[in-house]
């Protein structure tokens, strides 16, 4: 199975508004933490995430979290 590129070894912490977001799973996007289509030709596809209320989130940057798309601290072990 293909491994994602580690985009960064820390989360992308952002305040987000309600809406639909597409989290990059491959790590290749230039628009991290969101998909820009760079996964084309790979085994990866973005994850659709629906945010219901304004809040601060920590999107996973290493792409190895066990709680996608959110950071679980896995980056501290890679």
User: What confidence tier does 2 reach under pLDDT thresholds 50, 70, 90?
Assistant: confident
73 lies in which domain range? 12-77
3-state class (DSSP) for residue 63:
coil
- 2 domain-assigned: no
Interval 16-72: pLDDT, tens: 999 999 999 999 999 999 999 999 999 999 999 999 999 999 999 999 999 999 999
Q: How many domains does the chain have?
A: 1
Q: How many CB atoms lie within 10 A of CB 9?
A: 13
3 part of a folded domain: no
Is 5 part of a structural domain of the chain?
Answer: no
pLDDT at 76: 95
In a domain, 21, yes or no: yes
User: What's the pLDDT score for residue 14?
Assistant: 98
Is 65 domain-assigned? Answer: yes
Asked whether the beta carbons of 34 and 57 are under 8 A apart, the reply is no
């Amino acid at each position: 199975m293909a491994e994602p590129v580690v985009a960064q070894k820390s989360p992308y912490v952002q305040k987000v508004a309600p809406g639909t977001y597409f989290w990059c799973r491959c790590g290749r996007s230039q628009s991290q933490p969101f998909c820009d289509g760079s996964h084309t030709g790979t085994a990866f596809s973005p994850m659709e995430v629906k945010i219901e209320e304004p809040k601060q989130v920590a999107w996973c940057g290493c792409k190895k979290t066990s709680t996608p798309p959110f950071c679980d601290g896995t980056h501290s072990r890679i």
